[in-house]
Copies of this chain bind each other. A is one copy, B any other.
């Protein structure tokens, strides 16, 4: 990601939807070296889109991730409300609101312009790709490209096929994603909740169960993830960690523990209470924890700062790197 690959200049990528996430994706694609056609799905999004994108580029420059200042990317970027700009794009990424009627209308506008081989992708994290692609002309070239925020700094990228997706398009994006500096994951089948989300909901089910039964406090449960799971997560992931621990007692503990885990299928009372209180966490000061004024901004800043540091830290420990060190 830190190095421009000149031939990506010849690959135009479109992004439709220029909110926070869309702007962040535009910046990531510019840094990768693409020509980017940034289309505002709603006219108001043109306002400020240039500033949002510039801010992302500047942050990357200041953080030392890219050697160029934002103005270097100006000639690679077109911001517009006109879908005709997408005409020569090899890939178009949709990141508009998570509403099927809005998305399907956007797909119609895209497919009316682009060629039959243009890959069309959604950044959705809520709607199954198999469902979305039924609204797309030539659905074999439709897939999910799910980014994590900020798209310029995170290595995560989830590529998901729907039932009708031709895997060759996904393979093309998978290869391309490596040139974006990502460590993409590839979901052969559309699963509800995608990978991380789905695994995290397994955690949520159990963690609310522990809270409800008075086994531990929120603070303690958070600490155990921050300081214990956090001490190996970024280095190893799950299976590598099992190998590292020696695989010894897992089967034994599974036999004892699986039958005791929560199998709840309903919203935990604590979460239900949050919903009825219209709690929005840091964003409106009503959350699982108390928040004072301005704390949302502090957590934003802390997350941006942490994300950059963990990004740099993770870079030193790919499985390949660990192997190279002594080979």
Contact = CB atoms under 8 A, between A and B. Distances in A.
A72 interface: no
Interface string A183-216: 1111111011101111111111111001000111
Contacts of A240: 222, 288-289
A226 B235 contact: yes
Contacts of A274: 247, 250-251
Q: How many copies does the complex hold?
A: 2
A196 B228 contact: yes
B267 A187 contact: no
Interface residues of A, number: 118
Interface string A212-227: 0011111111111111
Contacts of A172: none
B263 A237 contact: no
B216 A310 contact: no
Q: For chain A, what secondary structure do more than half of its interface residues adopt (helix, strand, loop), or is it mixed? A: helix
Contacts of A289: 239-240, 243, 319
Interface in A243-261: 243-251, 253-261
A168 interface: no
Contact of A216 (B195, B201, B248): B195
B314 A313 contact: no
Contact of A243 (B217, B232, B288): B288
B202 A188 contact: no
A231 to B, nearest CB: 6
Contacts of A266: 254-255, 258
A205 to B, nearest CB: 6
Contact of A195 (B224, B267, B298): B224
Interface string A151-186: 000111010000000000000000000000001111
Interface stretch (A15-23, A75-83, A109-117, A275-283): A275-283
Contacts of A249: 126
Contact of A231 (B199, B260, B263, B307): B307
A254 B204 contact: yes
Contact of A210 (B191, B223, B253): B191
Interface of A: 126, 148, 154-156, 158, 183-189, 191-193, 195-207, 210, 214-240, 242-251, 253-268, 271-272, 274-275, 279-283, 287-289, 291-292, 294-295, 297-299, 301-303, 306-307, 309-311, 313-314, 317, 319, 322-323, 325-326
19 contacts: A126-B249, A186-B217, A193-B253, A193-B260, A201-B253, A201-B257, A225-B237, A225-B238, A226-B234, A235-B306, A235-B310, A240-B288, A242-B281, A246-B282, A246-B283, A247-B281, A255-B266, A259-B265, A299-B322
